[in-house]
Amino acid sequence: MHFYNGKPPVSILLKMEKKRHTTPVKSCDKLEQQNTPLFLKRGEGLGEGKNLFSREKKFFPSPIKPFTLIELLVVIAIIAILAAILLPALQGARERGRSSGCSNSIRQIGSANMLYADANRDYFVYSAIWSTYPYKYWCGEPESGWGNVKPRGGLNDYLGNSGNVRNCPTMVNLVSNDYTNSGTGGYGYSVGIGTYTTANGYDPVPAKQSILSHPSRTIMFADHISVDNGQYNEQIDLYAPIYMDKDNDTGWGEAAPTMHFRHRNKVNIFWSDGHVDANGPLSYSQSGWGCSAKELAANFKIGWFGGDDSEEIAELFKVRKTKK
């Protein structure tokens, strides 16, 4: 190899530089190669300590334009409009879910009463037994006197793994005082079945399953509530508009309404043939619980469905129908 003035010629230097760039690089060099420069600029010479190419990065940050007050107010207004549209729909969906849970609970209670009849010579469960103390209800036994009912006796032995009357999901938010806790879960038991007649003039005697003439048109359980001093309160019995005596004969006077239209103006009913459905709207009410009929219907959603004739409505509670 010939040198000029002790230095290799330019052509040799170019070959050496080319060879250096084509030689396989180590892993750290590979990482460096991946960082492709945005701009490449050929070097000005082959002087000592200089590369053929140099890299130069250039960035052009975009300007950020802030929101104006008008734009911010428009966004807030749109969010408010969407919330006003969606919230009722969400609340409706939530109540439909509660109503579905209520239907499942009342179906379990009604099915338990049918099991009770199968195990007790065809008799349904009693509404209450007043000759003992503490009293005994279809839904349990109070610790002492009134209220704070414990899940024992009645239908509790026939309710499967739960072993107690489940609450209507909507009812939980209405009644919370232990004194008014009758253990019903917000469901009333028709006196037409649970108090078909009386023994010794005092204790109710329930109806037999076999004497129901039209089970599919006979109410057994329903969403149910009463009012005490302007507050919701539980009751164990579900009444027809007219009090009924032995064999469901009517004529004892008007009863205070207890059927509660809590699910979007409808009431869940367990009929004596085993099916459950929602009925409404509320079509008839009458005074009771210290309130007028109008107050009970408008403010508390308590009354009956099935028209505005109390005799016609009473037919839905009779074990033996007088009308076909």
Cβ-Cβ contacts under 8 Å for 281 (sequence gap 6 or more): 261, 265, 266, 305
Q: Residue 259 in 3-state DSSP?
A: strand
Model pLDDT, residue 41: 46
| CA separation for the pair 114, 122 (Å, rounded) | 9
In 3D space, the residue among 217, 163, 224 whose CA is nearest the CA of residue 189 turns out to be: 224
Model pLDDT, residue 160: 79
Model pLDDT, residue 172: 73
Please give the helix or strand (H or E) that residue 128 lies within, else none.
Answer: strand 128-129
Per run of 10 residues, the mean pLDDT along the chain (length 324 residues) is: 53 61 51 46 48 52 73 88 80 77 93 96 92 86 76 89 78 65 86 83 85 94 90 88 73 87 94 95 94 94 94 90 64
Rounded to 5°, angle at Cα 194 from 189 and 200: 145
Tokens of 253: 């006077």
Tokens of 79: 């969010």
Model pLDDT, residue 304: 97
In 3D space, the residue among 264, 297, 269, 299 whose CA is nearest the CA of residue 283 turns out to be: 297
0.75 exceeded by the pTM? no
